[in-house]
Amino acid sequence: MEHSERFDASGSNEGRFRMLIDAITDYAIYMLDPDGTVTSWNPGARRFKGYEESEIIGENFSRFYTEEDRKAGLPAHALEVSEREGKFESEGWRVRKDGTKFWAYVVIDPIRDNAGRLIGFAKITRDLTERRQAEWALRESQEQFRLLVQGVTDYAIFLLSSKGYVSSWNSGAQRIKGYAPEEIIGQHFSRFYTEEDRQVGVPQEALEIATREGRFEREGWRVRKDGTQFFAHVLIDAIYNPDGSIFGFAKITRDITERMNAARSLEEAREALFQSQKMEAIGHLTGGVAHDFNNLLMAIQGSLELLQRRLPRSDSKVAQLIDNALQGTRRGAALTQRMLAFARRQELKLAPLDVGDAVLRMANLLQSSLGPSIRVETHFPPELPEVTADANQLELALLNLAINGRDAMPKGGTITIGATKQADVPGLKAGNYLCVSVADTGTGMDEETLKRATEPFFTTKGVGKGTGLGLPMVHGMAEQSGGKLRLKSRLGEGTTAELYLPVAPRETAQPTQSIKTQIPSPINKKLAILTVDDDPLVALNTSALLEELGHTVYSAPSALHALDILRREKKIDLMITDQLMPDMTGSELASRIRAENSHMPIILATGYAELAPGEGQGLPRLAKPFSQRELAEAIARAVTS
């Protein structure tokens, strides 16, 4: 009775199953006979295959397959497998009524009667086109991403496991680091770090920071497969699982060695430019100071000389004070010469010079200046070429370098002076040079001191023990001679000063002889002399010195006044003029006068600080500050030449 009630409420079994099949629209569910002919058709089949029930029942299910699949016998094969194995399952392209294709998931189950005979097949098909398209899109995106990553050659892009082991490797990583994928995948990424970084735990620290903060970024040295190092920009991003646990790390490395070298070169160039501009500015300042200082010394020295001769000799204390003051002016004059040498504003008398002979001639001077605790050694190979240099300035430079070496050896030591021939010295124009070296065994210099050693007024000798102009003077003399000064030093290893000087051309080189310059005798003739100087102190001092020599003096404060005097006074025998004056320089004034009177003797009195290259050529010069004796000798040379 219960069974009948349940049967009545639900309808027949066939009706119940029919209602169930008809309610399913997302699956095509239909029956096939043993030959594959369609015997039933549900709404799901009609929805995505497009056939009405009346159109498809009685037709073979092979029409749902593509032409290629039918030719290959796939429909019959599906039924055969289903009958033999009890089930056929696959995915593939199927064809709708309108000819369009869809991607289908297909299951075919055999249907047997109670006796086990095959009476047909149950076929279930699902349209998976959208899922298939999504999978293809994902696969295509993944492939594109793989190709993108693999195609990048300027960046090393690879994955690390949570423990830091390499799990992928792109072509950029292979190019930059040198490892093929099979060589490095599975290896720990710490092998890319230097030994020093590994010892202090830098690789592990990078992963810890990336895990904690999600990102790690740094620059530093890394090691290639062949052991060479490169400077790298490194970025490590943490990759997390859905549950928040760490999955691994994405690591991007870029070789920025060239960029770093370029930045360093640019910084060095900027520093060199800044240093050059600074030294040029200091040079201009130094030259100007030397000019003004020379004028002051000129006035002091001349006045002291006149005072010395006019005071009675009986007062020995006053005479001693005047002598002391004159020595001070001479030391001041030597200081200005160093300043001018640094500023490269002094006039060098360049001529072929045998450096070995020059050092030999000054051997006694060197030993007496350095003291008994210093040993001097010389190493000059035979047949060294001559250099083009100013003999006096070179001797002064070598003496300065030797004294610097002595001061660096308070307990004594050895100074070695030598020379070697070199060609094409970096930083100098192509040609042959002689490297004259002065090496000591002293305390040496640290990098900062070495960098500043040739700066003017920089000294490590303490207050009152050095002017800071010795090395700048040598530096200036070398550059003005067409060479350069280079210092090599390390703390505790002494210092070597290398003075590069150009080798004298063969056609001008000749054996160096010690020639004594003939000093002309002062003339007895009394002259009418015109002095031109805009500094009243110098003008007064020069006039007083000339008048004491017995000459008649006309004094002009400018070039224009001098021209007026020359037009009025026709018997001027000689003119002594300063160089740097307002409106017209001394050399310009000389040119104006020589245009009208080519026989007029003219002396250019200058410290050379204000002379431009080529200016005042052919004019005898009198270096400020000058003594009365030097003034008399200059007049004698000018009148008798």
How far apart CA 456 and CA 100 sit, in angstroms, is: 91
Please state whether beta strands 528-532 and 574-578 pair in parallel, antiparallel, or not at all (unpaired).
Answer: parallel
Strand order through the sheet with 602-606: 552-556, 528-532, 574-578, 602-606, 621-623
Strand order through the sheet with 215-223: 155-161, 246-255, 229-240, 215-223
pLDDT band at residue 614 under the 50/70/90 scheme: low
Helix, strand, or coil here: 488?
strand
Cβ-proximal residues to 90 (8 Å cutoff; 6+ apart), any chain: 78, 106
Q: Which pair of tokens denotes residue 344?
A: 């490269």
* 514 exposure class (CB count in 10 Å sphere: 0-12, 13-18, 19+): exposed
- For residue 385, the Cα-to-chain-centroid distance in whole angstroms is 37
Cβ-proximal residues to 583 (8 Å cutoff; 6+ apart), any chain: 558, 559, 560
Please state whether beta strands 351-353 and 387-389 pair in parallel, antiparallel, or not at all (unpaired).
Answer: antiparallel
How far apart CA 125 and CA 25 sit, in angstroms, is: 11
* β-sheet bridge partners, residue 368: none
**How confident is the model over 614-633, as a mean pLDDT?**
80
pLDDT at 501 over 60: yes
Mean pLDDT of the chain: 82
Q: Which of the pair, 438 or 627, is modelled with greater confidence?
A: 438
How far apart CA 532 and CA 593 sit, in angstroms, is: 13
CA distances to 27, 78, 108, 124, 306 from 105, rounded to whole Å, are 10, 13, 10, 8, 125
How far apart CA 143 and CA 167 sit, in angstroms, is: 17
Please state whether beta strands 387-389 and 155-161 pair in parallel, antiparallel, or not at all (unpaired).
Answer: unpaired
Q: Identify whether 502 is preceded by a cis peptide bond (ω within 30 of 0).
A: no
pLDDT band at residue 472 under the 50/70/90 scheme: confident
**How confident is the model over 362-371, as a mean pLDDT?**
81
pLDDT band at residue 4 under the 50/70/90 scheme: very low
DSSP element (H, E) containing 496: strand 495-502
How far apart CA 617 and CA 198 sit, in angstroms, is: 69
pLDDT band at residue 609 under the 50/70/90 scheme: very low
Q: Which of the pair, 313 or 50, is modelled with greater confidence?
A: 50
Scored b (16 or more CB within 10 A) or e, 468-493 reads bbbbbbbbbbbebbbbbbbbebeeee
pLDDT band at residue 278 under the 50/70/90 scheme: low
Q: pLDDT at position 513, please?
A: 42
**How confident is the model over 310-325, as a mean pLDDT?**
75
pLDDT at 122 over 60: yes
pLDDT at 105 over 50: yes
**Residue 573: Cβ within 10 Å count:** 17
Q: Domains in the chain, ordered, with CATH?
A: 2-129 (3.30.450.20), 152-255 (3.30.450.20), 268-337 (no CATH), 351-502 (3.30.565.10), 528-640 (3.40.50.2300)
Q: Which pair of tokens denotes residue 413?
A: 């030591």
DSSP state of 48: H
The percentage of the chain sitting over the pLDDT mark of 70, rounded to a whole number, equals 81
Q: Which pair of tokens denotes residue 490?
A: 């390390």
Q: Mind spelling out the 3-state secondary structure of 337-383?
A: HHHHHHCCCCCCCCEEECHHHHHHHCHHHHHHHHCCCEEEEEECCCC
Q: pLDDT at position 235, please?
A: 93
Least Cα distance to 546 among 634, 439, 474, 637 occurs for 634
